[in-house]
Amino acid sequence: MRFYYHFGEQQIVLEVSDDVYYPREDSVFMADFLVDFLSKRRMKPKRILDVGTGSGFLAILCFLLTGAKVTAVDINRKAVECARKNAARNRCRLILIESDLFEGIRGKYDLVLFNPPYLPPSPESDKHLGTAKKALTESGEIPRFLLKLSGHLTSDGIALLLASSLTPVDMEKLSQRNKLKAMVIQTKKLDWEELMLYKITSL
Ligand SMILES: C[S@@+](CC[C@H](N)C(=O)[O-])C[C@H]1O[C@@H](n2cnc3c(N)ncnc32)[C@H](O)[C@@H]1O
């Protein structure tokens, strides 16, 4: 299925296969923030990592906004293939790796993004949200991400992590436990939940 995103004079066109996460409100919320953050503000990241890239949407956007070295990972092989095709379609250079979170990653990044599976599962949940339940437990995606994050952040690097009012993870507490500081920097009310974007830095 096709997905279009416009920013400034530019447009991103994605082809998203059935077994890959189709960008939704959460993706667009994060994308809109990135457009503002990376084009109008002072952050000039040289190395960016997009964890759980799905269709490659946020990684492609980051490359077009900054020209930085962008690495994108996903645990879903189909997503990595889809992101690779979308990168070529949008004339972007991305380093794409099939990886469980940071497993296949070496080195540190100025900016790390993660739009994780953050919703409790429901009968309508898509197949690619199948890991959602895990995100809510200690052994799930969000806690495991926070556990390894500081090893992949430069000294003044930041991570942007999306969650929602339906994500019963105490982000501040969990971050502190991992020598990180989390604060909400943007919110968006939807009918059924509130999206929250966390900025996470090393303590
Ligand atoms: C909510 S989607 C976000 C996709 C894309 N970043 C976006 O904003 O449209 C979450 C993505 O994380 C991936 N994912 C889930 N668990 C993962 C893990 N342990 N390691 C890497 N990727 C993971 C899923 O395959 C899915 O593509």
Q: Give CA–CA dist 14/36, Å, rounded.
A: 21
Domain count for the chain, please give it: 1
Q: What is the pLDDT of residues 58-103, one digit of tens each?
A: 999 999 999 999 999 999 999 999 999 999 999 999 999 999 999 9
Mean pLDDT, rounded, for 90-117: 97
Look at 31-35, 134-138, 156-160, 194-198 and tell me which has the smallest mean pLDDT: 134-138
Q: Is 141 in the pocket of ligand 1 (CB under 6 A)?
A: yes
75 lines ligand 1 (CB under 6 A): yes
Ligand 1 atom closest to the CA of 27, numbered from 1:
8
Q: Does residue 123 carry a pLDDT above 60?
A: no
Give pLDDT, residue 160: 98
The ligand 1 atom nearest the CA atom of 23: 9
pTM of the model: 0.93
CA-nearest of 161, 152, 170 to 196 is 161
pLDDT tens-digit map of 16-36: 999 999 999 999 999 999 999
Pocket probe mutation, ligand 1, options 14, 53, 126, max atoms within 8 Å of Cβ: 53
Per the CB < 8 A criterion, the answer to whether 203 and 181 are in contact is yes
In eight-state DSSP terms, residue 119 is S
Confidence of residue 128 (pLDDT cuts 50, 70, 90): very low
pLDDT band, very low/low/confident/very high, at 50 (cuts 50, 70, 90): very high
Measured in whole angstroms, the distance separating CA 189 from the mean position of its chain's CA atoms is 19
Its domain, for residue 102, covers 2-202
Q: Residue 26's domain is classified under what CATH number?
A: 3.40.50.150
**Which position has the higher pLDDT, 6 or 137?**
6
Atom 25 in ligand 1: residue holding the nearest Cα: 76
pLDDT at 40: 77
pLDDT at 119 (0 to 100)? 66
Distance CA 46, CA 71 (A): 11
pLDDT classification of 186: cutoffs 50, 70, 90 = very high
